[in-house]
Amino acid sequence: MDKLKKELVARLERIPGIRHIPYPDRDDGFSGLVFQDREIGHFHDFNELDLRLGKALIKREGLTHPSGSRVHPGRRAGSPYIELRFDREQDLDRIVRLVTLLVETSPP
């Protein structure tokens, strides 16, 4: 596993209820992310998380679909999912904050 993804997964798993689900038969970095046994996102590779943040949080945070998307180039603007790329330490802080917001606003 890539160093940054490994660090991000470790930080996310410190959030109560979050688990990383690796797929042992995949070597391309694809893996799942669940909260209370429901998928909230998945890693496309070693440097991108596709997170089901929800339309309201995406709008509130001013997030936009990244240009040059390889996996979801035709995703509509109103999608509850947002692709989050990470290639430096500061990106991890932003993703942990967003996942924390998602957990805090999720119904029990």
* Chain segment 78-104, per-residue pLDDT in tens: 899 999 999 999 999 999 999 999 999
Which CATH architecture fits 3-105? 2-Layer Sandwich (3.30)
CB 50 within 8 A of CB 83: yes
**Distance from C-alpha of 45 to C-alpha of 5, rounded to nearest angstrom:** 9
* Chain segment 19-41, per-residue pLDDT in tens: 999 998 988 899 999 999 999 99
What global pTM score does this model have?
0.92
